[in-house]
A = this chain, B = another copy of it.
Amino acid sequence: MMGDVAIDGSSSTSGDKPRRGRRVRMTGAERRQQLLDIGRALFAEKGFEGTSVEEIAAKAGVSKPVVYEHFGGKEGLYAVVVDREMRQLLDGVTGALTAGHPRELLEQAAFALLDYIESYTDGFRILVRDSPVAQSTGTFASLISDIATQVEDILGLEFKARGFDPKLAPLYAQALVGMVALTGQWWLETRRPKKAEVAAHLVNLAWHGLENLEARPRLVGHRRS
């Protein structure tokens, strides 16, 4: 037995394929992280139900029980992946909000979301897809919709300051997030135009409206990427 196991020392943590090499023995934390990475990629590609535990384990070069040891099952792994991704996105967006002027705020938020989409494409795909089963409490259908509720607060403040009805903040928050989210999804396929340009146009639309659209919008803030 064991004749089918070759010898291979390379054990880059981010190895994707079975890497059927000499049994790589990782530390718990390493393996856990690796499984999360692989799980994220697979869930993004094939959805929750379309991904099997076997598949995840195989790609990690281990057997199923390892996954169960670490996460207790598929749902467990998925939950951790989603949680981390939500944090990542929220941190990115809220961290980008430094401006005081509403327009710059909008600009920063849009850019941050696109940034996230670009850097963590798989995570975004997961957040856009629907969760395992219609969750218990009758919460939102889309994880992204969840994100939008986080935007409400900022908008609510702004509305109050401007004398608008703050009860409408959720509506506008959903609208804005939806705008960026679907555009982001579309942008994933085409990758054109450039991120900054897309952001500029989104801000153009959200800020000026179709009525006063600018032909060649620019971002007012300066950015690195």
Contact = CB atoms under 8 A, between A and B. Distances in A.
A215 B129 CA distance: 34
Per DSSP, are chain A's interface residues mostly helix, strand or loop, or mixed? helix
Given A175-B179, A183-B171, A186-B170, A215 B164 contact: yes
A38 B170 CA distance: 33
A88 B133 CA distance: 27
A43 to B, nearest CB: 12
Count of chain copies = 2
Interface in A135-152: 138, 140-142, 144-145, 148
B201 A134 contact: no
Given A182-B148, A205-B175, A134 B45 contact: yes
Contacts of A177: 182
B171 A213 contact: no
A138 B148 CA distance: 28
